[in-house]
Each structure stands twice: as structure tokens, then as C-alpha cells.
């Protein structure tokens, strides 16, 4: 499995998305592996803080592996997706710092915004391009307004455009910019790991209480939206294969 989970000492553990040849894009098995990592991290007392990063020079993560999705004929279920995202399906009370560089796209950006703190390199480019491909980021649609506000969230989601690190910092999509985001993230994680173990966990639980409750309230709506968008895509493909031009399409 090309997701690594290793201790760095001082209570800090690093989760590395290690598929640089695929820009760290993730298939169904990788998403299930992430869920297992979050469960381990929550259960093990020696884990006090985490850093999440992508291997290679080009990307934190290019999101879901669309090649694998085409081969398997579909996406993972909403429950699998939620469990793969830190602090969503699996409650994770240990702080997580994202070290972002290069492409941070789609599900890659979903992972990033559900980490507790985000440090971006100057080369980071962040986007949710799903609408350009007739898709959506349902759980992030719920979370993003709480981070950047409703107007900014709508612009990010509906335009699909890429944001530079500076633009992302200006709208609070990232916390800070650093020349070496991984080194900065490790230093921050060590600081967090040195704080009171129980105070860290209870503070994070309280800060995220409303976000978690909101996701729980709307998770069935997210699941239905994902089904609707998949059905729309299948319908459009049938019409295209028949040589017809649909009057309305979601992509």
C-alpha cells in the first residue's frame, strides 16, 4: 500500500501519500487505508499529533484516481469517503497539520481542508475542479463555508479555478505559507504534541463539534447528491454514445 504511516519521535507521526507517479491520486483501496490510519491514530496514545504530506515534487494530491474509477466503473460509497477524510467519518481528536505543495486538487483539497492546520508552499495550487467534469465534492461543500465564508466557498466550488498559495492564505483556506511546508508542519506538530494531551483532544472535539454535527445532519443529502450526479453522468454518456445532444447537462 502506497500510504505510509510512521513515527518521527516526540509523539509526531507522518502520513505520506506516496504515489508520486500518479501525483498522489487515490483509489478506493487508498481511501480505505486512510480510514484505517485515522482509527490507529485515535486509538494509540503515543500518537499526539500528525502531519499529512504528499511524496514527490509535484503534488500533495491530485485527488481521486480517475483512471481507477473508470476501470472499476464507479466511485466509493459515501461512508467509505467520509471515513477516509480526517475527523469526519472517524472521529480524530489528535491534531493534524497538512503540508501542501504543488497540486492540491479535488479530493486532495478535501483532505487538506479537513486537517486542522494547513501550511502551503509557494508553489501550491489549490482547486475543486469537479464542476468542470460533472462531479461534486459533497462533504467539502458542507465544510468549506465554515472555513472561508459562504461567498468565497461558492466561488471556489462553482468556478473550479486554481488558487495560488497567496490567494488561499488571503481567504483563510491555508493558515500560512512556508518555503519548506513539510519542515514547518513538523515543527508545528512537535509544538502541538508538547501540549497537554487531554487538553488538545478536548479542545479539538469542542471546536469541531458544530462542524461534525452539520455533516451528520446532511450526510444523507450528500449521498443522494452523489447518486444524482452519477446518474446524470450515465445519462449524458448514453446520449453522447447515441449521437444525441442533451438539452441540459450538469457537466
Q: Per DSSP, what are the bridge partners of residue 12?
A: 9, 49
Phi, psi of 126 (to 5 degrees): -110, 130
Long-range CB contacts (within 8 A, 24+) of 215-218: 215/82, 215/88, 215/139, 215/142, 215/143, 218/142
The question of whether 130 is a catalytic residue gets the answer: yes
Contacts of 170 (CB under 8 A, 6+ apart): none
Residue found under cell 502520513 = 15
To 10 degrees, what angle do helices 138-148 and 107-114 make? Answer: 50
Contact 79, 89 (CB under 8 A): yes
Identify the active-site residue in 46, 130, 184, 210.
130
Q: Helices (H), strands (E): how many in the chain?
A: 10, 10
The C-alpha atoms of residue 48 and residue 62 are separated, in whole angstroms, by 28
The residues that are catalytic are 130
Amino acid at each position: 500500500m502506497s500510504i505510509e504511516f510512521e513515527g518521527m519521535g516526540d509523539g509526531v507521526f507522518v502520513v505520506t501519500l506516496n504515489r508520486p507517479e500518479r501525483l498522489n491520486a487515490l483509489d478506493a483501496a487508498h481511501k480505505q487505508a486512510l480510514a484505517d490510519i485515522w482509527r490507529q491514530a485515535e486509538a494509540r496514545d503515543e500518537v499526539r499529533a500528525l502531519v499529512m504530506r504528499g511524496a514527490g515534487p509535484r503534488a500533495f494530491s491530485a485527488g481521486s484516481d480517475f483512471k481507477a474509477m473508470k476501470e472499476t466503473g464507479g466511485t466509493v460509497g459515501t461512508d467509505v469517503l467520509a471515513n477516509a477524510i480526517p475527523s469526519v467519518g472517524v472521529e480524530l481528536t489528535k491534531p493534524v497539520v497538512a503540508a501542501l505543495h504543488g497540486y492540491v486538487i479535488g479530493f486532495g483539497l478535501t483532505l487538506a481542508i479537513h486537517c486542522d492546520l494547513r501550511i502551503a508552499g509557494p508553489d501550491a495550487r489549490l482547486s475543486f475542479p469537479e464542476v468542470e467534469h460533472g462531479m461534486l465534492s459533497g462533504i467539502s461543500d458542507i465544510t468549506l463555508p465554515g472555513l472561508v465564508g459562504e461567498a468565497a466557498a461558492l466561488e471556489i466550488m462553482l468556478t473550479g479555478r486554481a488558487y495560488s498559495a497567496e490567494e488561499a492564505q488571503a481567504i483563510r483556506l491555508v493558515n500560512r505559507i512556508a518555503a519548506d511546508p513539510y519542515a514547518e508542519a513538523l515543527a508545528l506538530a512537535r509544538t502541538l504534541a508538547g501540549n497537554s494531551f487531554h487538553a488538545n483532544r478536548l479542545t479539538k472535539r469542542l471546536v469541531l463539534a458544530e462542524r461534525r454535527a452539520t455533516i451528520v445532519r446532511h450526510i444523507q443529502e450528500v449521498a443522494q447528491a452523489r447518486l444524482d450526479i452519477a446518474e446524470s453522468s450515465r445519462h449524458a454518456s448514453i446520449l453522447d454514445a447515441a449521437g444525441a445532444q442533451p438539452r441540459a447537462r450538469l457537466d
